[in-house]
Amino acid sequence: MAVGIFDSGLGGLTVLNAVSRRLPDVPLVYFGDNAHAPYGVRDADDIYNLTTKAVTRMWDEGVDLVIIACNTASAAALRRMQESFLPKNKRCLGVFVPLIEALTEREWGDNSPPREVRVKHVALFATPATVSSRAFQRELAFRAIGVDVEAQACGGVVDAIEDGDMILAEALVRSHVDALKRKMPQPQAAILGCTHYPLMESTFQDALGPEVEVYSQANLVAESLADYLGRHPDMLGSGTESKFLTSGNPAKVSARATQFLRREIKFVSA
Ligand code: DGL
């Protein structure tokens, strides 16, 4: 009854952590494509090829449903995967939609026409590839009208986190927040549109100020996954074991993951 969670690297662990709290009995197969992170500076074809290769590897672990816990892959590759890659009995779900449903005060899966919402000025922090895809604005436009979105491409943050250089990551977050505030001085809400960024959430909140509501994805994705599995229990795969796979160096990746999640995580070679 396993479910897969995919990310370009360590960021998806923020989602894995929330999912394992919400669904403690479901074995989770995690794949970090650390050898090829960051995805955020790659082009759409490259992201599609890497993501489909990793997801294909995950099918071998007895999962039928993979959460693409990477906004960059969700933005640049997921639609194409759903149209032309996924076999009939397999599913991939992205991480954008649950976030947008929460921002626009919708029930999970509510596809009613767009309407006015409480939040009017939204700052989006994401990787360069996610920002240039405009996928967030497209999904938002299906659900809300009259929302002004200012996007900030946060170059360098994912590399710093993957390298464990949290001092550099913090300095970069503060400079990206400053840049955003020059374009939108008073956002009401900020979206952390990269699953690595919750590891820096307190820095984002501090730099933005207490009046800005910061939305991060982990708990929202976990909640919407629980709802999805309640409606589609057949999407629980045959796998029985939790596992952490990486395309990178397992010892190095395990050490970083253990540091981030503050519990022992042991990756094996994909
Ligand atoms: N965690 C990925 C995301 O949510 C990071 C992307 C990257 O590898 O640049 O976008």
Domain boundaries, the chain: 2-94+218-269, 97-215
pLDDT of residue 108: 81
Residue 111: per-residue pLDDT: 85
Catalytic residue among 16, 70, 173, 192: 70
Q: Both tokens of residue 176?
A: 């990206």
Q: Which ligand 1 atom sits closest to the C-alpha of 158?
A: 9
Q: Is the CB of 247 under 6 A from ligand 1?
A: no
For residues 118 and 259, what is the distance between their CA atoms, to the nearest angstrom? 38
**CATH code assigned to 97-215:** 3.40.50.1860
Please, what sign has the CA dihedral across residues 29, 217, 48, 246? negative
Task: Report the C-alpha gap between 106 and 100 in whole angstroms.
Answer: 8
39 marked ligand binding residue: yes
Burial call 75-106: b when 16+ CB within 10 Å, e when fewer: bbbbeebeeebeeeebbbbbbbbbbbbbbbeb
- The pTM of the full predicted model, rounded to 2 decimals, is 0.94
Is residue 125 classed as helix, strand or coil in its secondary structure?
strand
Residues 6+ apart with CB under 8 A from 117: 103, 104, 105, 144, 146, 147
Atom of ligand 1 nearest to the CA of 126: 10
Q: What are phi and psi of 21, to 5 degrees?
A: -75, -40
- pLDDT of 166: 95
User: What is the SS3 assignment for 126?
Assistant: strand
195 is an annotated ligand-binding site residue: yes
pLDDT of residue 1: 87
Query: Which tokens in the block code for residue 19?
Result: 């999912």
Which one of 122, 194, 222, 236 is the catalytic residue? 194
Phi/psi at 10 (5° precision):
-90, -15
Q: How close is the Cα of 159 to the center of ligand 1, in Å?
A: 10
196 lines ligand 1 (CB under 6 A): yes
Architecture of domain 2-94+218-269: 3-Layer(aba) Sandwich (3.40)
Q: Is the CB of 38 under 6 A from ligand 1?
A: yes
Three-state SS at 241: coil
Give pLDDT, residue 21: 96
Tens of pLDDT, residue by residue, the chain (270 residues)? 899 999 999 999 999 999 999 999 999 999 999 999 999 999 999 999 999 999 999 999 999 999 999 999 999 999 999 999 999 999 999 998 999 999 998 888 888 999 999 999 999 999 999 999 999 999 999 999 999 999 999 999 999 999 999 999 999 999 999 999 999 999 999 999 999 999 999 999 999 999 999 998 999 999 999 999 999 999 999 999 999 999 999 999 999 999 999 999 999 999
Q: In terms of Cα–Cα distance, which of 127, 114, 155 is closest to 71?
A: 127
Residue 63 Cα to ligand 1 midpoint, Å, equals 22
* Fold match flag (2-94+218-269 vs 97-215): yes
φ and ψ of 172, to 5 deg = -65, -40
